[in-house]
Amino acid sequence: MKTVKDYIRTIADFPHEGIMFRDVTTLFADARGFRMAIDQLLHPWAGEKIDKVVGLEARGFIIGGAIAHQLSKGFVPIRKKGKLPGQTLSQAYKLEYGEAIMEIHEDAIQPGERVLIVDDLLATGGTCGAGIKLIERLGGEIVGCSFIVDLPELGGRKLLESMGMSVRVLCEFEGL
């Protein structure tokens, strides 16, 4: 019986030499694998009150849209700076070399709304950490964070858990 991990291909030396890129597009392209991933991402949150699903740019939009549809809830994108057309809140976060900025529409989350954050991959936790801060600034309550892949050596899960987050992942890959 195949697992979600079996549908994910690894591409060596992308985008830089020494990186083992975990490509979830092969998972998304397979109807059975994609359905399995969405069902498994939803499972830990069964019975939880969730008002909105937030997807982190860009593959989190694919997952988040499918999960929001399954839950019959709204979907909210968190995007890189300058990509959203309305009034936004911004949150900077550190990258390995430098800094990046994520944004959310100011009216995307109402105070007290319960939010599930989803993305394809958890590495350092920087992008998700910025998303958490944005949602909290809008008064949202984060139910938890779900990812298809975790790269545990990069410490993202520990960072998010240190922020008080409940983190669920479907599979792990060693290395970068």
Active site residue ranges: 59, 96
> Distance (Å, rounded) from C-alpha 152 to C-alpha 80?
24
Residue 26's Cβ-count burial label (10 Å; 0-12, 13-18, 19+) is middle
Taking each helix axis from N to C end, the angle separating 31-42 and 59-71, rounded to the nearest 10 degrees, works out to 70
> Distance (Å, rounded) from C-alpha 80 to C-alpha 58?
9
